[in-house]
Amino acid sequence: MPQITPTSKIVIVGSGVFGISTALWLARAGYTDVSVLDMQDTAAAGYDPLSGIDSASADLNKIVRFSYGAEIEYQRLATEAAGLWGEWNREVEGAEEGGGGEGRLWWNTGFLRMSASGELGAFEIETLRNMEKEGIREFQFVCDDDADIARAKERGWAHKLDPCRRQERFGSHKAVLDSTAGFVYAYKSCAWAQHLARREGVKMVLDPVRGKVVDIASGGDGRPVVATADGQEHVADLVVVAGGGWTPSLIPEVQDLLETTAGSVATVQIPRDRADLWERFAPENHPVISWGSREGKEVYSLPRDENGVFKIGWRKTKWTNFQDVRGNRISVPKTAHVTEEKETRIPLEALNGIKEYIALNFPELTPLGISSTRLCWYTDSIDNSFVVDFVPGRPGVAVCSGGSGYGFKFLPVLGREVVKILEGKGAETVYGRMWRWRGGGEDAGGEDGDGDGESGIDGRRNGLEEGEQGPRVLAKQKMAEVEDWKFT
């Protein structure tokens, strides 16, 4: 592990949440020579997926929740992030640069966890019990509990208890509204973080050739050398690989710890002239929703954005895409713009799950049909906890990844903990121990997706053990075509 000094040359690969937050906090900690390389011009495109940026962070919006059930360490970090999201909201609204003036980043819309079965699941009941113990139960409203309904009314949350009118339509509505949660505009948040990092002196090389890292080797003096696609070699004191879904292809050793997988996302375009729908799905009136978590449905949606885009995600299965990477078979992203092989479709199974969610819960949207689909590539870790540590056998090279479907919300604070690890103090910190390089078979206490604190693991390997033989391989799926977007 190198001892870094304030003038050490530090190169970060990737300007997503993990890379940009690390860069920001390194600069804040007094490191003066920090550069971020990215093969995508996230600055010019403002991280907007509609402008051709493909990454987990470059998305319309992401769910933010601060309650993590029994996972107290993530809960604490999320609570700290909450304070910083509030600060960023105040700063960004008054700012003229970095996307300032375009409205707030973080929206406390509430998060409704709806059962698909007519009963609250055991996990939900357990979560409520934990919240009781931690003194935060009062912010949760069980939607058919009279005392909770009365409290929701008092606190202005009653209109979000049953946005799908399930009680009226099905005679039963089993759900819990978490009034502390909501969502952030993801692309705007990353652009703001990048602006803050630049302001602190971080250099950015965001370019498909000059910023594209093709190799990370060890130089003659033992320092790492980063080769970029323009033929340049950058000798550094420390290289931090925060390449999201591309991390295992850059650092193949990490494939025992991390796997690149895709979640399935679709949108419905709500027309502005449909005033009824426009109002109903606005963040002021509509919460983030998850439906049927741990009941085999695993769907979530977020309120419409200012352009009327209503985003729905399906996370029951995360897809893999194995390719040859320098003699290894590694799952790598297959995206709409950046990768050699392009993909804008999602598997039909995922689309059908999303359509079922819409048809049952929002039948008034069915005439509009689906408007777009997208695969969004994560890095899942063996135990769903992040991986931030030095790579064994590679002096001066660290990885910073493994967001596993819930890393976004930590953007404002994540880098602070990463810096401690890069400074060699990982073993002394809670997060350093949780995110260390580790072997299989351990559960460091992470979660899967952002809906319900579902682990998806039982102390094993989170599906990584399946490999290319497993059923989640993208090439084995029937993909949904545009004709499938209509509801019949």
Ligand X SMILES: Cc1cc2nc3c(=O)[nH]c(=O)nc-3n(C[C@H](O)[C@H](O)[C@H](O)COP(=O)(O)OP(=O)(O)OC[C@H]3O[C@@H](n4cnc5c(N)ncnc54)[C@H](O)[C@@H]3O)c2cc1C
* Interface contacts to ligand X, rule CB under 6 A: 13-19, 37-40, 42, 55-57, 62-63, 211-213, 242-246, 250, 263, 265, 313, 376-378, 401, 403, 405-409, 450
Complex with ligand X: residue 16 or 121, whichever CB lies closer: 16
Written in H, E and C, the secondary structure of 127-149 is HHHHHHHHCCHHHEEECCCHHHH
Smallest distance from the beta carbon of 168 to ligand X, in angstroms?
A: 29
Q: Compute the radius of gyration of the chain from its Cα atoms.
A: 22
Smallest distance from the beta carbon of 461 to ligand X, in angstroms?
A: 19
Strands (E), 371-478: 372-381, 387-390, 397-401
Reduced to 3 states (helix: H, G, I; strand: E, B; else coil), residue 111 is strand
Smallest distance from the beta carbon of 250 to ligand X, in angstroms?
A: 6
- CA torsion sign, 327 to 330 to 336 to 338? negative
Rounded Cα distance between 37 and 15, Å, is 7
Q: Which amino acid is at 474?
A: L
Smallest distance from the beta carbon of 472 to ligand X, in angstroms?
A: 14
- Residues in Cβ contact with 155 at an 8 Å cutoff, skipping those fewer than 6 apart: 179
| Pairing of β 299-301 and β 140-142 | unpaired
Smallest distance from the beta carbon of 119 to ligand X, in angstroms?
A: 25
Smallest distance from the beta carbon of 261 to ligand X, in angstroms?
A: 8
Reduced to 3 states (helix: H, G, I; strand: E, B; else coil), residue 258 is strand
Complex with ligand X: residue 139 or 386, whichever CB lies closer: 386
Smallest distance from the beta carbon of 431 to ligand X, in angstroms?
A: 15
Of the candidates 319, 454, 464, 456, the residue with the CA atom closest to the CA atom of residue 381: 464
Smallest distance from the beta carbon of 86 to ligand X, in angstroms?
A: 16
Q: Report how far apart, in Å, the C-alpha atoms of 34 and of each of 1, 9, 482 are.
A: 18, 6, 44
Complex with ligand X: residue 347 or 403, whichever CB lies closer: 403
| Pairing of β 258-269 and β 309-319 | antiparallel
Smallest distance from the beta carbon of 468 to ligand X, in angstroms?
A: 21
Report which secondary-structure segment, H or E, holds 26: helix 17-28
Complex with ligand X: residue 20 or 358, whichever CB lies closer: 20
Complex with ligand X: residue 148 or 224, whichever CB lies closer: 224
Smallest distance from the beta carbon of 169 to ligand X, in angstroms?
A: 27
Length in residues, the chain: 488
For 433-447, b/e burial (b = at least 16 CB within 10 A) is ebbbbbeeeeebbbb
Complex with ligand X: residue 4 or 17, whichever CB lies closer: 17
296 burial level (CB within 10 Å; 0-12, 13-18, 19+): exposed
Complex with ligand X: residue 35 or 40, whichever CB lies closer: 40
Complex with ligand X: residue 77 or 270, whichever CB lies closer: 77
Smallest distance from the beta carbon of 224 to ligand X, in angstroms?
A: 14
Neighbouring C-beta atoms of residue 121, cutoff 10 Å: 18
Smallest distance from the beta carbon of 103 to ligand X, in angstroms?
A: 19
| Pairing of β 175-178 and β 182-185 | unpaired
Of the candidates 121, 150, 116, 136, the residue with the CA atom closest to the CA atom of residue 181: 136
Complex with ligand X: residue 192 or 406, whichever CB lies closer: 406
Complex with ligand X: residue 173 or 211, whichever CB lies closer: 211
Rounded Cα distance between 444 and 200, Å, is 33
Rounded Cα distance between 37 and 54, Å, is 15
Complex with ligand X: residue 85 or 141, whichever CB lies closer: 85
Complex with ligand X: residue 152 or 258, whichever CB lies closer: 258
What are the structure tokens assigned to 190, written together?
Answer: 């990353």
Report which secondary-structure segment, H or E, holds 192: helix 186-199
Rounded Cα distance between 405 and 126, Å, is 22
